[in-house]
Amino acid sequence: MFTRKTKSTIDSLIGMTTTIKGDVGFKGGLRIDGNINGNINAESGEPSVLVISEHAKVVGEVRAAHLIVNGEIVGDVHSTELLELQPKARITGNVFYKALEMHGGALVSGKLSHDQAVDTPVLKLAASSEA
């Protein structure tokens, strides 16, 4: 009755002294303080939060709904909701986002592309005289 789960809950942590070689899949929230050599994929269609801390380095493609970056990513980044690039963020690769928040000091070496697949309302004129 009173259970409520905020979407910013971190369920898992990859520590500073951890290095993972291979792809990582997750659901919910994940914080990375270590190194990952592989792709990181949140479960599609589900709310997800991925935090890449200032100590973390990811070499591979990253996909998540809400992504907070303060570390380094070498690879393409896909965020289906909000992408937050904090002051120490370094991305070498193309970035695809729906909403972007970029702090001073953050660097992106690649192309920034706004997600055009968002449902945009189409205006139709009521009294159209096309014949």
Helix H, strand E, coil C: the string for the chain is: CCCCCCCCCCCEEECCCCEEECCEEECEEEEECCEEECCEEECCCCCEEEEECCCCEEECCEEEEEEEECCEEECCEEEEEEEEECCCCEEECCEEECEEEECCCCEEECCEEECCCCCCCCCCCCCCCCC
pLDDT digit string (tens) for 116-128? 654 555 555 666 5
Phi, psi of 79, deg, nearest 5? -125, 120
Predicted structure pTM score: 0.81
Is the confidence at residue 131, as pLDDT, over 60? no
pLDDT tens-place string over residues 63-77: 999 999 999 999 999
Using the structure block, give the residue that is written with the tokens 């965020």: 79
Would you say residue 1 has pLDDT above 70?
no
pLDDT tens-digit readout, 27-75: 999 999 999 999 999 998 889 999 999 999 999 999 999 999 999 999 9
Q: Does the pLDDT at position 8 exceed 80?
A: no
